[in-house]
Amino acid sequence: MTDHPFTLRPAADDDLEAITETFTSGFLMDNTPEFADGIRPVYEPGRWLLAEDGDRLIGTSAIFTRDLSVPGAVIPAAHVSGVSVRPTDRRRGVLSAMMRRQLTEAPEPVAALWASQSALYRRYGYRDAADAVSYSGDLRLAGVPQSTVSGRIREITPEQARENLPEVYAEAVGQRPGLSTRPNGWWDKRLQDPQSQRHGAGARRVLVHENTEGAVDGYVLWRSEMKWGEAGPAYNLIVEEFIAADTDVYLALWHFLSGLDFAATFTWRRGAAFDERLRHLVGEPRHLQPRFTDALWIRLVDLPAALTARAYMRDLDVVLDVTDPIVEANRGRWRLVVRDGEATCERTDRPAALAMGVDVLGGIYLGGRPLRLYASLGQVTEHLSGAVDAATTAFSWPVAPTGIEVF
């Protein structure tokens, strides 16, 4: 028995076209065949939740089965996406019903999403946990120095990219919180390049750096946007994904891009982290014109499993009193103990040192937001002196989290 006038059910194999029609309706987009083709490689019918009113599909919400890099580990995370409600059926509780059912059924310890409307998701215990930085400007004026790394830079085809890039990307996932693994069809989806999704720019290009043994150790996915000025060509380079662990390789790829003929400006949307190396390597970083926005939003689904899955920067023994608007099993007092790199989290009757909502734990989970910030906002209550400072240090991480792929 439900208390709403619509039903929820998992999707079936033949629901994809109806899903894309409903989703594009909710986002006021054109429903093109290419849109469904983009989802097909990663479609998991059993993890799509559909809301129906009679014979009408009125809402959709999906979970993609992927792992997520968190401080010190790569763990299963419910990658929430495809969330939409038809414009004619809003304010009926459709979104709330889907979100609540997802969170009570997901087996993963945490959930992650990119928020189209950030005000919506705090209602459901999510919190922005990472920043994404966009750069736009003139790489030539920024002054990218020459790299001395050995090896060569070359362009490869998408087919070659499918074989050469996954290992490089997998290494990056383990180094920075906020990056997601690409199992099953996710590399196929990432390398799709339909004309309808280019928004006036050219086809995607794949640039790789190979070491002296011929192995790829860095790559860039990019495209060019043709523009002409009074003085001639003034193209804009659009950088979509940039992965290079070694700083010399990283610098070699950027130097190559900065010297391309016809290119006057570049744009790198949501691809950089707060501690991105580029702005510390160039001579004139102001020409990068950084712009900050929120990236991943995190929600703890299974609180003890989530808190024991990540690493911490110091030993800690703290009792947390947690409120949760949806997942009853998360509510109450939990003793989090970290000793010698091992964490335990168990229910306790001990007095709480800190009290907070589950959303605050989501905000600090990737190590990119200090607990002290939320305490200063009045969103954490300190019952034991010094507990905020101790937990702030323990939950911190030396590498800033980010998100480079909107899923």
Q: How confident is the model at residue 3 (pLDDT cuts 50, 70, 90)?
A: low
Q: How confident is the model at residue 235 (pLDDT cuts 50, 70, 90)?
A: confident
Residue with tokens 């409120």: 323
Q: What is the structure's pLDDT at 370?
A: 98
pLDDT tens-digit readout, 143-174:
999 999 999 999 999 999 999 999 999 999 99
- In sequence order, the β-bridge partners of residue 78 are 65, 111
292 close to 133: Cβ distance less than 8 angstroms: yes
Domains belonging to the chain, first-starting first, are: 7-108 (3.40.630.30), 133-293 (3.40.630.30), 303-395 (3.30.1050.10)
Q: What is the structure's pLDDT at 393?
A: 98
Mean pLDDT rounded to a whole number for the chain = 94
- In sequence order, the β-bridge partners of residue 266 are 137, 237
Structure tokens at 142: 């920024």
Q: What is the structure's pLDDT at 228?
A: 77
User: How far is residue 117's CA from residue 399's CA, in Å, rounded to a whole number?
Assistant: 27
Percent of the chain with pLDDT over 90: 87
The residue-averaged pLDDT of 228-237 equals 80
Structure tokens at 350: 């001990």
pLDDT tens-digit readout, 319-364:
999 999 999 999 999 999 999 999 999 999 999 999 999 999 999 9
Q: How confident is the model at residue 2 (pLDDT cuts 50, 70, 90)?
A: low
The model carries a pTM of 0.93
DSSP state of 147: P
pLDDT tens-digit readout, 269-311:
988 999 999 999 999 999 999 999 999 999 999 999 999 999 9
The answer to whether residue 1 scores a pLDDT higher than 60 is no
Q: What is the structure's pLDDT at 229?
A: 75
DSSP state of 355: E
164 close to 216: Cβ distance less than 8 angstroms: yes
The answer to whether residue 401 scores a pLDDT higher than 90 is yes
State the distance between the two ends of the chain, measured CA to CA, in whole angstroms: 33
pLDDT tens-digit readout, 243-278:
999 999 999 999 999 999 988 899 999 889 999 999
Structure tokens at 140: 């030539």
Dihedrals phi, psi of 257, to nearest 5 degrees: -60, -40
Give long-range contacts, CB 8 A cutoff, 24+ apart: 225-230: 225/200, 225/201, 226/202, 227/264, 229/264
Sign of CA pseudo-dihedral 365, 366, 367, 372: negative
